[in-house]
Amino acid sequence: MEESRDLEILKVSQLFCERDERILFKGLAFSVREGQILQIKGSNGSGKTTLLRILCGLNSGYQGLISWRGKPIGECLDEFYSSLTYIGHRVGVSKVLTPIENLRWVSGLHHQVTDQAIYSSLQKMGLKGFEESQCFSLSAGQQQRVSLSKLPLSRSKLWILDEPFTTLDADGIELLEILLCEHVGRGGLALVTTHHQLAIPGLTILDLG
């Protein structure tokens, strides 16, 4: 098991991206192994969100090589996307639906999840008693918790999270840090953009400047 965790699961080589005639990154290279969290830091406009969108296949305006388990992404798209959970910096919930309705819909796109598992995930994220409330009645931090409640239900190997700590209070931050530690403890890997100082041991930092 320890030997497998030395393998580079996600690898990026010679990545180049330009936006509005300004180079965001050039020759960017990094890799992520099983059991590893990579925190991507940088000032506003440094390309953090653009990098995550490139990795998720949402931005094709780049040059370079991205590999998953030793294969170029283009040769294993189905395998890669089935291994990925992406949560963007905007709250990905429908405000007219309740938290449990949101998670039923999202989970149904990937695999069958019981209502018991959904309730358990919402409660784990501190939303007990709000499962049947329409999301427009929840605070911004609670809506973010609804979005992050997808994570305990996920079977994905790779989590890519863009500013997931935004609007969370101290308890929410601690809950998310616990989720991340549990995920990599099971052999998962995660890429996270945040300005928050993470209280996670063994964290790897990529600074885009």
Residue 92 has pLDDT above 50, yes or no: yes
Are 135 and 143 contacting, i.e. CB atoms less than 8 angstroms apart? Answer: yes
Quickly count helices (H) and strands (E) in the chain. Answer: 7, 9
> What DSSP line would sit under 131-161, residue for residue?
TTS-GGGS-HHHHHHHHHTHHHH---SEEEE
Strand order in the sheet with 8-19: 22-33, 8-19, 63-68, 71-72
> What is d(CA 44, CA 19) in angstroms, rounded to the nearest whole number?
14
Domains and CATH numbers, the chain: 1-83+156-209 (3.40.50.300), 92-155 (no CATH)
Residues 81-102 as b or e (16 or more Cβ within 10 Å = b): eebbbbbbeebbbeeebbbbbb
| pLDDT range class, residue 2, cuts 50, 70, 90 | very low
62-67 mean pLDDT: 96
138-159 mean pLDDT: 95
Q: Tell me the pLDDT of the chain averaged across its residues.
A: 92
Residue 1 has pLDDT above 60, yes or no: no
Query: For the segment 12-51, what is each residue's pLDDT rounded down to a tens digit?
Result: 999 999 988 899 999 999 999 999 999 999 998 899 999 9
**Residue type at 18?**
E
| 200: helix, strand or coil | coil
Are 39 and 199 contacting, i.e. CB atoms less than 8 angstroms apart? Answer: no
> What is d(CA 166, CA 98) in angstroms, rounded to the nearest whole number?
21
